[in-house]
Amino acid sequence: MKIAKVIVDVPASAIDQTFDYEIPERYRHVLTPGMRVIVPFGPRKIMGFVVKITAESSFKKLKPISEVLDLVPVLTEELLDLGKWLAHQTLSLSITALQVMLPQVLKSKYKKEIVRAADGALAHELEDLFAGRDAIPFELFEESTLSYYQLKKAVEAGDLAIEYIVESKITKKFETMIRPKQEIHLLEEAIAELPKTAKKQHAILDYLIENPEEISQKVLLSKFQTSNNTIKTLVEKNLLETYRKEVFRNPYDDDSIIRTKPLELTEEQEQAIEPILKSIEQEEHEVFLVHGVTGSGKTEIYLQAIQEVIHKGKEAIVLVPEISLTPQMVNRFKGRFGKNVAVMHSALSAGEKFDEWRKIQRKEVQVVVGARSAIFSPFENLGIIIIDEEHETSYKQEDQPRYHARDVAIERGKNNHFPVVLGSATPTLESFARADKGVYKLATLNKRTNDKPMPEVITVDMRNELHAGNRTMFSRLLMDKIADCLAKGEQIVLLLNRRGYSTFIMCRDCGHVKECPHCDIALTYHKNNNRLKCHYCSYEEAVPTICPECNSDLIRYFGTGTQRVEEALTQLIPEARVLRMDVDTTRRKGAHEKILNQFAEKKADILLGTQMIAKGLDFENVTLVGVLTADSMLHLPDFRSSEKTFQLLTQVSGRAGRHDLKGEVIVQTYTPEHYSIQLASQYNFSEFYMKEMAMRRAFKYPPYFYLALITITHQNHVKVVQTAQQIVRMLQQKVHQPTVILGPTPSPIPRIKDRYRYQCVIKYKHEPDLRKYIQEINKRFAEEVRKNDLQIIVDMQPYHMM
Ligand code: ADP
Ligand code: ZN
Ligand code: ZN
C-alpha cells in the first residue's frame, strides 16, 4: 500500500478529482485517509487530503508526497464519504466540501509545534530532541532522523501533542499548576517550623492542606495576594511542586453552572419522546418533527433523549441557531451533562473553536452544542442529531458549499442509523408537509409546561393612527400599555422588524437617494459617525451637506432604523431606560450577552431590537411585547415572506408572560387583514399551514416544487445578459414537464461590487438529471470562468433569492 489518492487544494473545476502520489517509506506506517499532506502540484507545493490508500495506480511515474501535516486524521472515514455526497448535492468542488468540515485553524497554514505532556515519559531519541524543552518547532523533528511512526506512537500514548500556533496572543495553552508534594502531615509539620513572619507561606500551606488538589498558580497567587517568590520558596523547601499543564481555553465558566436533574415528563412530553427513545434503542434512522410552542418543554425532551444516547455510549450533536446560542442555552446543556459538552459558536476565537473541536476529536466529550457548522463534528459513534428551531434560515450556508444543515443531519442519520430530531414552534412548510405525509414522525406539544396560556395578541391598524393624527411610529394603545408597564415596574420588549428597511438619505427637494457607486442599493446612514455605508461592499462616505443632484440642502434621513426608534422613544417617554440591540450594538464580542444581562438585571425598562431579540430570551419580568412594523417584510420579493412573518410574530409573542406575570403582545401593522398576521395573533399554525400551502401550490413553490437558483455575474452588463440567456436556452432543451424556468431576470440587487447580476430560477418536481445538466453548463463556461472572471453561482436550495 504505497499509493495515496489525494484531493488537492486547487479550487478549479478542471482539478476536481483525486491525484495519485507515492507514499515515501518514512510515512508508510503513518499515513491514513483523512490526513492532510503537502504534495507537489505543477511547479508548486500545495495542501491536499488523503482520501484513499491503495496498492496500485494506473499512472506509471508518481511524484512522492512531500510532507504529512497530521498524525491523526482530521477527517473520519464517514466525513470523507459525507464530503463526496456534499460535493454532489451542492454542486461544489470536493476540496471545498472537505474544507468546510474543518475548523478554521486547520484550513490555513499555521505553524506547528510538538509539545510534551506534563509527566510523559519519552523514548531516548525524543528526549534528546526536546533537550529539556517543553515544546519544539515541528521542523526540528522533520530535520531529525526520527521516524514518523515513533512520533505517532508517542502522540497516541498522550506523551506528546501536536499544537497549532494560532495567534501568539490567544495561544495561551499552558498554565503553571501547583500541588502539594508531601503528605498532609508533613505539610502540617512544615507549618510548625515556619518563622512567624512567613504569613503567606503559612496561609498557602493551610489552604493546600484543606484542598490538596492541584490549583493554578495564577489563581493561588491572586487568592493570597502574594508573589511568585512565596511559591518558589515553598517549592525549594520541597513542599510543593509546580508543573505546566495544558488548559483548554474555556469561554464558559463551567464551575458556576448549577447541575440539573431530568424532570418528570408531562404526558405530552412522554408521548413525544417515546418513539425517539425507541429509535435510539433500535438504532434505526427516523426523522422526528417536534412541534411545540415556546415553553412547551422541547428542550427537556432533547436533554432526556441525549441522556439515553450517552447512556448507550454514543454521541449527540445539538444545533441551535447562532443567535440563540446564548449562555442561558449553553448552560442548560452543561447543567445536565457538565464537562461532557463542547460548544461551537462563531463568536469564539479561532483558537477557542479549535480547542472545542479537539475535545470532540479526542473523544473527551459526547455532546456538542453549536451553530450550523457543528453538524460536521467528527464524532464516530453518533446516536442522535437534534436541530432546534429547525425553521431558522441560518442553517443554510450561503457560500459554497451551499448546504442546509438539516439535509446533512439526515444524511448522517441515514448512513449511521440514528434519529434526527427537528424542533420548532413554527416549522417550515417543507418539514411540516413531510410530517403530514408521514415521511417524518410528528409529535405535537400543545401546552406550556407551566400551563400558562400564550399571551393575548392585539393587532393595531396603523392606518387608523395616521387618520387620527398620530404620526409617530408608536400607536396610542402601545404607548398606553408601555406607560402601564413602567408604572408597575415591569419590562417591555420592542421588536423592530427591520429586514427590508434601513435608514437611508433622501433629498426632500428632488427625491434623490444616495446609492452605493458599486452596488445598486441605497447607502445606509450610520448616525454615530455620521457616515453612509454600503451593506454589500465596504464602501462608505461622509454624509453630504448638499444634494449632489439639485444642490438643495434639505437632506434628511428616512427609514426606521433602531437608532431612530430609540431616539423617538426617549423623546416620548424620557423616563424609560432603553437598551438597544441590533447589529451595530452587538458587533463586539460579548456585547450581545452584556446587553441581555443588563436587561435581566433590570437595568433597563425597554429592550429594543431587531430579529435577534425575538429568539430564545426568557425574562420573567417581561409582560409586554410590541412589534412596531409587523408587515415590513411581507412585501419583500421572497415567496417565504408570509411564512417568515408568521414565524417571527409567533416567536416574539413567546417572549411575554413566560412566568407568573401575565403577558400581552401588541402588533402594529398596516395590513391587519393579512392571513399571516391574523393567524399568528391567534397562534393558529394549522390554519396558516393550509392557507400557505394553497399559495405554494398555486404558484409552484416548495414544498410542491423544488427550486434551484443560478446567478450569473460579471463586470460587463452585456456579457451577463448573454450568458444568462444561453444558460436558460441550454436548460430549456433538457428539462421536462412540469419543470418551469424563470428568467433570465436581473437579480433583486442587480449590481454588487461593480458586478452585474442576472439570475434564473428552475422550479421542478422531478428532474433526476438536473445536476448533470448544470454540470454541463459549468463545463461549457469553464474557460470563461477561469480566464474571463465570469461567475456562475448555483444554489440547489436557495433561501435568499438575492
Ligand atoms: P421549549 O424548549 O419548548 O421552549 P423548555 O424545554 O425550555 O421548552 O421548557 C420550558 C420550561 O419548562 C423550562 O423552564 C423547563 O425547565 C420547564 N419544563 C420542561 N419540562 C418540564 C417538566 N416535565 N416538568 C416541569 N417543568 C418542565
Ligand atoms: Zn436634491
Ligand atoms: Zn456597495
Q: Where are the domains of the chain?
A: 3-102, 109-247, 254-445, 456-501+560-694, 706-795
Residues in CB range of 782: below 8 A, 6 or more apart: 13, 14
Query: How many Cβ atoms are within 10 Å of 212's Cβ, its own excluded?
Result: 13
Confidence of residue 528 (pLDDT cuts 50, 70, 90): confident
Residue having the nearest C-alpha atom to atom 10 of ligand 1: 295
Residue with cell 509546580: 242
Distance 526 CA to ligand 3 centre (A): 15
Q: Which residues surround ligand 3, an ion (CB under 5 A)?
A: 516, 518-519, 534, 536-537, 539
Rg (CA), the chain: 30
pLDDT attached to residue 386: 98
State which ligand 1 atom lies nearest to the alpha carbon of 302.
Answer: 6
Distance 458 CA to ligand 1 centre (A): 26
Percentage of the chain exceeding pLDDT 90: 48
Residue having the nearest C-alpha atom to atom 23 of ligand 1: 265
297 CB near ligand 1 (under 6 Å): yes
| Residue 6 grid coordinates | 489525494
**Would the pLDDT of 199 be above 80?**
yes
70 CB near ligand 1 (under 6 Å): no
pLDDT attached to residue 169: 37
d(CA 681, CA 572): 27
d(CA 430, CA 696): 11
Q: Give start and end residues of each alpha helix (H) in 383-468.
A: 405-416, 429-436, 462-467
263 CB near ligand 1 (under 6 Å): yes
pLDDT, average across residues 268-279 = 96
pLDDT attached to residue 769: 95
Question: Nearest 5 degrees, angle CA 91-CA 94-CA 95?
Answer: 125
Q: What is the pLDDT of residues 69-100, one digit of tens each?
A: 888 899 999 999 999 999 999 999 999 999 99
Confidence of residue 501 (pLDDT cuts 50, 70, 90): very low
Helix axes 184-193, 199-210, angle to 10 degrees: 160
**Would the pLDDT of 251 be above 60?**
no
388 CB near ligand 1 (under 6 Å): no
Distance 657 CA to ligand 1 centre (A): 15
Nearest to 643 by CA among 357, 428, 326: 428
Distance 531 CA to ligand 3 centre (A): 14
The ligand with the least distance to the CA atom of 426 is 1
Confidence of residue 224 (pLDDT cuts 50, 70, 90): confident
Q: What is the pLDDT of residues 105-161, one digit of tens each?
A: 887 666 778 888 776 778 888 888 887 788 888 888 877 888 888 888 888 888 888
Pocket mutation for ligand 1, best pick of 444, 449, 655 (most atoms within 8 Å of C-beta) = 449
State which ligand 1 atom lies nearest to the alpha carbon of 265.
Answer: 23
Of 681 and 322, the one with more pLDDT = 681
292 CB near ligand 1 (under 6 Å): yes
Distance 498 CA to ligand 2 centre (A): 26
Distance 545 CA to ligand 2 centre (A): 11
The ligand with the least distance to the CA atom of 318 is 1
Distance 269 CA to ligand 1 centre (A): 10
Q: What is the pLDDT of residues 401-424, one digit of tens each?
A: 999 999 999 999 999 999 999 999
Helix (H) or strand (E) holding 730, with range, is helix 717-734
pLDDT attached to residue 499: 47
Distance 392 CA to ligand 3 centre (A): 27
Whether a cis peptide bond, with omega within 30° of 0, leads into 702 is no
CATH code linked to domain 706-795: 3.30.70.600
Confidence of residue 492 (pLDDT cuts 50, 70, 90): very high
pLDDT, average across residues 281-308 = 95
pLDDT, average across residues 613-626 = 78
Distance 263 CA to ligand 1 centre (A): 8
Q: What is the pLDDT of residues 530-563, one digit of tens each?
A: 888 887 777 889 888 888 888 888 877 766 577 7
Answer whether 3-102 and 706-795 agree in fold.
no
Q: What is the pLDDT of residues 359-382, one digit of tens each?
A: 999 999 999 999 999 999 999 999
Q: What is the pTM of this model?
A: 0.82
Distance 524 CA to ligand 2 centre (A): 17
State which ligand 1 atom lies nearest to the alpha carbon of 301.
Answer: 6
**Would the pLDDT of 255 be above 70?**
no
Residues 655, 693 contacting (CB under 8 angstroms) = no
pLDDT attached to residue 459: 94
pLDDT attached to residue 657: 64
300 CB near ligand 1 (under 6 Å): yes
Q: Which stretch of 17-21, 162-166, 436-440, 758-762 has the lowest confidence by average pLDDT?
A: 162-166
Distance 752 CA to ligand 3 centre (A): 6
State which ligand 1 atom lies nearest to the alpha carbon of 293.
Answer: 3
Helix (H) or strand (E) holding 780, with range, is helix 770-788
State which ligand 1 atom lies nearest to the alpha carbon of 300.
Answer: 6
**Would the pLDDT of 479 be above 50?**
yes
pLDDT attached to residue 166: 55
167 — alpha (psi -120 to 50), left (phi > 0) or beta?
beta
Q: Which stretch of 275-279, 300-304, 603-607 has the lowest confidence by average pLDDT?
A: 603-607
The ligand with the least distance to the CA atom of 546 is 2
Confidence of residue 168 (pLDDT cuts 50, 70, 90): very low
Distance 300 CA to ligand 1 centre (A): 6
Percentage of the chain exceeding pLDDT 70: 93
Helix (H) or strand (E) holding 622, with range, is strand 622-627
Pairing of strands 36-41, 67-68: antiparallel
| Residue 139 grid coordinates | 521542523
Pocket mutation for ligand 1, best pick of 267, 300, 333, 444 (most atoms within 8 Å of C-beta) = 300
pLDDT attached to residue 18: 94
The ligand with the least distance to the CA atom of 505 is 2
299 CB near ligand 1 (under 6 Å): yes
Residues in CB range of 631: below 8 A, 6 or more apart: 645, 669, 670, 671, 674, 677
Nearest to 376 by CA among 783, 115, 10, 34: 34
How far CA 462 is from CA of 49, 107, 173, 641, in Å, comes to 59, 51, 57, 20
Long-range contacts of 8-11 (CB under 8 A, 24+ apart): 8/39, 8/41, 8/46, 8/47, 8/48, 8/95, 9/46, 9/47, 9/48, 9/95, 9/99, 10/41, 10/46, 10/95, 11/93, 11/95, 11/96
423 CB near ligand 1 (under 6 Å): no
Residues 46, 167 contacting (CB under 8 angstroms) = no
Q: What is the pLDDT of residues 677-692, one digit of tens each?
A: 999 999 999 999 999 9
Distance 296 CA to ligand 1 centre (A): 6
The ligand with the least distance to the CA atom of 533 is 3
258: DSSP letter:
P
Distance 563 CA to ligand 3 centre (A): 22
**Would the pLDDT of 779 be above 60?**
yes
Report the top-level CATH class of 254-445.
alpha beta
Superfamily for domain range 3-102: PriA, 3(prime) DNA-binding domain (3.40.1440.60)
Distance 634 CA to ligand 1 centre (A): 32
Nearest to 455 by CA among 293, 672, 301, 288: 293
Residue having the nearest C-alpha atom to atom 9 of ligand 1: 297
Nearest to 392 by CA among 402, 403, 405, 383: 405
Q: What is the mean pLDDT of the chain?
A: 87
Distance 332 CA to ligand 1 centre (A): 11
Burial class (CB in 10 A: 0-12, 13-18, 19+), 538: exposed
296 CB near ligand 1 (under 6 Å): yes
Pocket mutation for ligand 1, best pick of 259, 299, 326 (most atoms within 8 Å of C-beta) = 299
Q: What is the pLDDT of residues 697-738, one digit of tens each?
A: 998 999 999 999 999 999 999 999 999 999 999 999 999 999
Q: What is the pLDDT of residues 390-404, one digit of tens each?
A: 999 999 999 899 999
Nearest to 298 by CA among 758, 117, 324: 324
The ligand with the least distance to the CA atom of 518 is 3
pLDDT attached to residue 585: 73
389 CB near ligand 1 (under 6 Å): no
State which ligand 1 atom lies nearest to the alpha carbon of 264.
Answer: 23
Residues in CB range of 228: below 8 A, 6 or more apart: 217, 221
426 CB near ligand 1 (under 6 Å): no
User: What 3-state class would DSSP assign to 495?
Assistant: strand
444 CB near ligand 1 (under 6 Å): no
Which CATH number is 456-501+560-694's, of 3.40.50.720, 3.40.1260.10, 3.40.50.300, 3.30.110.70?
3.40.50.300
Residues in CB range of 568: below 8 A, 6 or more apart: 472, 473, 474
The ligand with the least distance to the CA atom of 540 is 3
State which ligand 1 atom lies nearest to the alpha carbon of 445.
Answer: 3
